[in-house]
């Protein structure tokens, strides 16, 4: 693996304030032109060679886009942010100037865009979204023709070309070699059809479901899918206006869907994030169940059915100790990676594992999707409930969470924590206090100017005190207001 540092790409593509920094119109055009040059001159650069089987196969017929000989094809999708059309126009311009044919799927979630990239065998898929971030942020994620986020090597190739200055000297193709642009209006229909295929014979007649769509990319797809499965659907935060995505709702605010479940006497509630690749669940009693619970429930069920390949679940360093103990008690192994669903998927592919995910709600059922998919996760959880003939609250009894504290500290810089003497001393103090009965995870966000503190242990009062002490030390030394 190439370990050279990246300057444009973070842990999840390129992300910044919309129309500034890495996401100015001029820079987005350069990124698109760089991708176009690489597609023309090194056509297979974005094709992952990991032997990942496409479970849905290649879709043809009316869904297949028009192809022009000799022109690479790119599909673009976006969430509902006000800035997404601006970035889409810049991407389209750069790609067309590079001789790339562009198909715009409009508003579609990240898992939907990943699926379209794979099912329709585009040379590259580009998703415009900042996921769970506030409305003012946005981002660009690249997907291979297997629906996987492109590799570090591919990201570095784009980045180096953007920063080299060579693009300004490349006039690009002319005449009929210039790229063409088309709207691809069948994207949501094709993706919904795929989720319904995964649902199979699941029928939700008589079931009341609350959906919090975060005013994001799932606002049409989620209600359509669950209504077609026969559920009585109550959708909230499903009226995006460009500025209300993720605002006090969705996966970052699951208390909203939990309250709605109790208010409407629903059987379950699902809270998606802005681009639909994660989901947090509320059971029928209104108790919030995060990704750790989903993994514990799904792992047990899949093992019982002989479907948990290599008897292993992949998750991240953020996973609660309760999940680890729950899996061990069931005779299931657990592997941890650093934070990021892309890293989880990479470990799953390396080890031949089929279930993985994050506490934050990114859950990957690799036989169905190569990326976190909130709608697929919801469908899979409902299938498990139906097969076990059990409500979610009873299934969730398989895991007891350790108390866990999460703190975010806004920082002005990101030096190594061990290079700041006072922070390093505070970290050692926390670790001594926790001993073998708890965990501290201190890291920087890959997409925001934040230091993230996670402490867990058996004593909620103690870990809260430790977290606040560490927070104050970080604020004092590198805090944005210091």
Q: Which are the catalytic amino acids?
A: 131
Among candidates 86, 98, 101, which has minimal Cα distance to 34?
A: 98
Q: Report the DSSP pairing between strands 450-456 and 439-444.
A: antiparallel
**Calpha distance 16→27 (Å, rounded):** 12
**Calpha distance 311→460 (Å, rounded):** 32
> DSSP for 245-304?
TTTT-GGG-THHHHHHHHHTT-SEEEEE-TTSS-EEEE-TTS-EE-HHHHHHHHHHHHHH
Tokens, residue 21? 């920094």
Angle subtended by helix axes 110-119 and 187-199, to nearest 10: 90
Q: Report the DSSP pairing between strands 312-316 and 333-337.
A: parallel
**Distance (Å) of CA 160 to CA 156, 221, 336, 405:** 6, 37, 31, 39
Among candidates 234, 227, 10, which has minimal Cα distance to 130?
A: 10
Residue 134 phi, psi (nearest 5): -60, 165
Query: Among positive and negative, which fits the CA dihedral 326, 330, 336, 342?
Result: negative
Cα-based torsion angle of the residue sequence 322, 325, 329, 332 in order, rounded to the nearest 10 degrees = 100
> DSSP for 365-414?
ETTT-SS--HHHHHHHHHHHHHHHT--HHHHGGG--PPPEEEEEEEBS--
CA angle 394, 230, 213 (to 5 degrees): 75
Among candidates 420, 410, 414, which has minimal Cα distance to 471?
A: 410
Contact 176, 26 (CB under 8 A): no
**Calpha distance 130→13 (Å, rounded):** 9
Provide the 3-class DSSP secondary structure of residue 196: helix
Among candidates 298, 273, 269, which has minimal Cα distance to 285?
A: 269
**Calpha distance 313→354 (Å, rounded):** 8
């Amino acid at each position: 693996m190439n370990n050279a540092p990246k300057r444009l790409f973070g842990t999840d593509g390129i992300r910044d304030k919309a129309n500034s920094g890495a996401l100015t119109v001029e820079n987005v055009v350069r990124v698109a032109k760089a991708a176009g040059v690489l597609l023309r001159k090194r056509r297979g650069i974005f094709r992952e060679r990991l032997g990942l089987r496409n479970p849905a196969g290649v879709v043809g017929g009316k869904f297949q886009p028009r192809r022009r000989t000799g022109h690479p094809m790119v599909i673009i999708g976006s969430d509902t942010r006000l800035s997404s059309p601006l970035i889409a126009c810049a991407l389209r311009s750069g790609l067309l100037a590079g001789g790339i044919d562009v198909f715009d799927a409009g508003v579609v979630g990240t898992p939907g865009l990943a699926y379209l990239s794979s099912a329709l065998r585009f040379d590259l898929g580009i998703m415009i979204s900042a996921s769970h971030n506030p409305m003012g942020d946005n981002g660009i994620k690249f997907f291979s023709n297997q629906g996987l986020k492109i590799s570090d090597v591919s990201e570095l190739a784009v980045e180096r070309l953007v920063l080299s200055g060579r693009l300004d000297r490349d006039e690009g193709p002319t005449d009929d070699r210039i790229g063409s642009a088309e709207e691809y209006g069948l994207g949501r229909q094709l993706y919904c059809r795929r989720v319904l295929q995964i649902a199979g014979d699941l029928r939700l007649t008589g079931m009341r479901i609350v959906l919090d769509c975060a005013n994001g990319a799932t606002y049409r797809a989620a209600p359509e899918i669950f209504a077609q499965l026969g559920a009585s659907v109550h959708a909230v935060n499903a009226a995006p206006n460009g500025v209300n995505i993720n605002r006090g709702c969705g996966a970052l605010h699951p208390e909203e869907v939990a309250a709605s479940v109790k208010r409407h006497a629903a059987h379950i509630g699902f809270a998606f994030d802005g681009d639909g690749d994660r989901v947090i669940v509320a059971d029928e009693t209104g108790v919030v169940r995060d990704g750790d619970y989903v993994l514990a429930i799904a792992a047990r069920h899949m093992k019982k059915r002989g479907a948990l390949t290599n008897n292993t679940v992949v998750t991240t360093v953020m996973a609660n100790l309760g999940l680890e103990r729950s899996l061990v008690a069931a005779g299931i192994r657990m592997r941890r990676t650093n934070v990021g669903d892309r890293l989880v998927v990479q470990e799953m592919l390396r080890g031949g594992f089929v279930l993985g995910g994050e506490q934050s709600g990114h859950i990957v059922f690799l036989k169905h999707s190569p990326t976190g998919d909130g709608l697929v996760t919801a469908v899979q959880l409902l299938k498990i409930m139906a097969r076990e003939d059990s409500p979610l609250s009873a299934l969730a009894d398989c895991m007891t969470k350790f108390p866990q504290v999460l703190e975010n500290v806004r920082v002005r810089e990101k030096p190594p924590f061990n290079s700041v003497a006072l922070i390093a001393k505070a970290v050692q103090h926390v670790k001594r206090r926790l001993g073998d009965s708890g965990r501290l995870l201190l890291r920087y966000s890959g997409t925001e100017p934040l230091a993230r503190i996670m402490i867990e242990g058996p004593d909620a009062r103690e870990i809260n005190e430790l977290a606040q002490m560490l927070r104050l030390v970080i604020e004092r030394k590198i805090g944005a207001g210091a």
